[in-house]
Amino acid sequence: MLYLYITLIIIISILFFLFFSLVFPGKKAKEKNSPFECGFDPFSLSRVPFSLKFFFIGIIFLIFDVEIVVILPFPLMMMKNLHFMFSFFLINFMIFMGLLYELNYSMLDWMK
């Protein structure tokens, strides 16, 4: 019985694919056939200068993303235990000190 369902699903999928490929043929354009490289021209020189500030902003974003994931469960358990409250304030203090460090070394100043 399971094999019947699987073959039926495969046949229906193939029929849908054939129907939509015949009814809505894709447009052949230069843009569709060229590789997408996140806005970069794939035919230019590969050694273009890369902004180090952009790299720092990306790393800072990833670090703060991980810190937010660490902070999210704390409000659920903070009032139940003093240890959780102390840990919450310690993590927030470390995040704040990291932000002050980044501001001190102008890592967040894009134009500088």
Q: What does 33-62 look like in DSSP terms, one character per residue? A: HSPP-TT--TTS-S-----HHHHHHHHHHH
Q: Is residue 33 part of a domain?
A: yes
**Beta carbons of 68 and 54 less than 8 angstroms apart:** no
Residue-level pLDDT at 9: 94
Residue-level pLDDT at 93: 93
Residue-level pLDDT at 28: 67
Q: Is residue 111 part of a domain?
A: no
Q: Is residue 6 part of a domain?
A: yes
Q: Is residue 67 part of a domain?
A: yes
Q: Is residue 53 part of a domain?
A: yes
Expressed as residue numbers, the domain containing 51 is 2-104
Residue-level pLDDT at 99: 85
**What is the tally of structural domains in the chain?**
1
Q: Rounded to 5, what percent of the chain is helix, strand, coil?
A: 65, 0, 35
| pTM for this prediction | 0.48
Q: How far apart are CA 54 and CA 52, in angstroms?
A: 5
Residue-level pLDDT at 31: 64
Write the CATH number for 100.
1.20.58
pLDDT tens digit at each of 112 positions of the chain? 888 999 999 999 999 999 988 888 776 666 666 666 666 666 666 666 777 778 888 888 888 888 888 888 877 777 777 887 888 888 889 889 988 988 888 777 767 6
**Beta carbons of 53 and 110 less than 8 angstroms apart:** yes
Q: Is residue 18 part of a domain?
A: yes
**Beta carbons of 84 and 74 less than 8 angstroms apart:** yes
Q: Is residue 94 part of a domain?
A: yes
Residue-level pLDDT at 12: 96
Ramachandran bin of 106, using left for φ above 0, alpha for ψ from -120 to 50, beta for the remaining angles: left
Q: Is residue 93 part of a domain?
A: yes
